[in-house]
């Protein structure tokens, strides 16, 4: 039949699985690539601008692409528990895939500064939620140490299977466009996702069976260079960070990261070296966005395109629009921005900046009619 059963089945020949591997899937991947019409018109620039809406994965973020692989491999290796540190989305995804697999998930989250929807997910899926008096970077340091001795598999993006799953987003984009875009813009925290996309684009653009990128030192031999794109054609990878959490802009780790985009409130990126290689190899760049720019882009997408992403995700669009207006991304380019997580993850952030409260009126025809006539156009 034609039933879609997730990205491992879809890209089985390009992923490190065997014929008899038990696949742990929730039908992740196959997310829409939405062409933006109103936003380019709004800024008066002629660009082919798309958003890859990863918020439509089963738990509402791109993490599911990596988690299906990481949990599938953990189960294959006989592991009965997984652990991660998280700003929220990884914990939601780990909790859901562990539930699906029938194993235990331990999730280490910062004290506060985690979006309500993400916390609800981790609790609802029955994971053991460990809230530390520290931030994500503290949690990351701890889970790496714990996983060395305790019988738990670490499923943060330092687990190479995570990036293998996440590279499939690049496959989907190239299949839909018939080529790679000229620019691919992403929000950057640990820089795992930007690296995973680069691995995916490199695999597709390879014309022989060779590793063609230094980034592949990161795949630890799991890459399958299958071709299928346009030989040699790869996008410039552009990574945007929140100004208060921007180690790639400072050129050094940041010890007290802050931003309204809690998903990327990260000062010590795990994929530091490899992300610099991605930037250099692809000819792309890093830049930063203020919290105000991030929130403005989130609202613009919601109001002008009907697409609701979480604040961290909007950093890709905030940065891209600025670079398009400045001409750094020239007119006529094709640009894909990854929207990493759904807006419903963080209702507090949305309501806080919505700027309008519901109209309160009597439950009477006159009152409702007046409310409509007063607000037309």
For binding to ligand F0G (CB under 6 A), which residues are involved? 61, 63, 86-90, 157, 187-193, 263-264, 310, 312-313, 340-341
Least spacing, CB of residue 193 vs ligand F0G, in Å:
3
Question: Look-up: residue for tokens 């995570």?
Answer: 162
Give the integer Cα–Cα distance in Å for 140 and 246.
17
Least spacing, CB of residue 215 vs ligand F0G, in Å:
14
Nearer to ligand F0G, 246 or 263 (CB): 263
Token pair belonging to 78: 């006989």
Token pair belonging to 151: 């019988």
Nearer to ligand F0G, 16 or 189 (CB): 189
Nearer to ligand F0G, 117 or 187 (CB): 187
Q: Name the burial class of residue 257, with classes exposed (0-12), middle (13-18) and buried (19+) by CB atoms within 10 angstroms of its CB.
A: buried
Nearer to ligand F0G, 205 or 245 (CB): 245
Listed as own residue / partner, the contacts of 355-358 with beta carbons closer than 8 Å and 24 or more positions apart are: none
Contact yes or no for 139/86 (Cβ under 8 A): yes
Contact yes or no for 52/79 (Cβ under 8 A): no
Token pair belonging to 50: 């798309």
Nearer to ligand F0G, 45 or 106 (CB): 106
Nearer to ligand F0G, 25 or 89 (CB): 89
Least spacing, CB of residue 210 vs ligand F0G, in Å:
26
Residue 84 exposure: Cα atoms within 13 Å on the Cβ side:
30
**CA distances from residue 100 to 5, 19, 20, 157 in whole angstroms, order as listed:** 14, 20, 18, 20
Least spacing, CB of residue 344 vs ligand F0G, in Å:
12
Least spacing, CB of residue 339 vs ligand F0G, in Å:
8
Least spacing, CB of residue 159 vs ligand F0G, in Å:
12
């Amino acid at each position: 039949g034609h039933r879609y059963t997730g990205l491992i089945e879809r890209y089985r020949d390009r992923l490190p699985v065997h014929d008899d591997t038990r696949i742990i899937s929730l039908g992740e991947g196959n997310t829409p690539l939405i062409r933006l019409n109103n936003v380019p018109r709004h800024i008066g620039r002629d660009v082919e601008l798309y958003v890859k809406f990863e918020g439509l994965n089963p738990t509402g973020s791109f993490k599911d692409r990596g988690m299906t692989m990481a949990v599938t491999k953990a189960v294959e290796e006989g592991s009965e528990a997984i652990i991660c540190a998280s700003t929220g989305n990884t914990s939601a995804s780990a909790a859901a895939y562990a539930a699906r697999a029938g194993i235990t998930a331990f999730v280490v989250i910062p004290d506060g500064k985690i979006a309500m929807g993400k916390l609800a997910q981790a609790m609802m899926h029955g994971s053991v939620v460990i809230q530390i008096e520290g931030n994500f970077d503290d949690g990351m340091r701890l889970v790496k140490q714990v996983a060395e001795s305790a019988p738990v598999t670490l499923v943060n993006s330092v687990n190479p299977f995570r990036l293998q799953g996440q590279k499939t987003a690049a496959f989907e984009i190239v299949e839909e466009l018939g080529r790679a875009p000229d620019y691919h813009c992403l929000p950057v925290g640990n820089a795992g996702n930007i690296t995973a996309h680069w691995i995916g684009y490199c695999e597709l653009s390879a014309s022989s069976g060779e590793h063609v990128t230094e980034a592949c030192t990161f795949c630890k031999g799991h890459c399958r260079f299958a071709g299928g794109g346009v030989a040699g054609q790869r996008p410039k990878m552009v990574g945007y960070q929140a100004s208060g959490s921007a180690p790639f802009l400072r050129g050094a780790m940041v010890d007290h990261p802050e931003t309204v985009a809690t998903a990327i409130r990260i000062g010590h990126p795990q994929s530091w070296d490899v992300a610099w290689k991605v930037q250099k190899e692809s000819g792309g760049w890093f830049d930063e966005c203020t919290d105000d720019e991030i929130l403005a882009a989130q609202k613009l997408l919601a109001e002008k395109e009907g697409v609701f992403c979480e604040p961290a995700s909007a950093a890709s669009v905030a940065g891209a629009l600025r670079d398009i207006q400045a001409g750094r991304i020239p007119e006529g380019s094709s640009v894909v921005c990854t929207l990493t997580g759904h807006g419903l993850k963080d209702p507090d952030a949305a309501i806080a900046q919505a700027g309008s409260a519901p109209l309160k009126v009597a439950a009477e025809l006159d009152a409702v009619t007046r409310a409509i006539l007063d607000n037309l156009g």
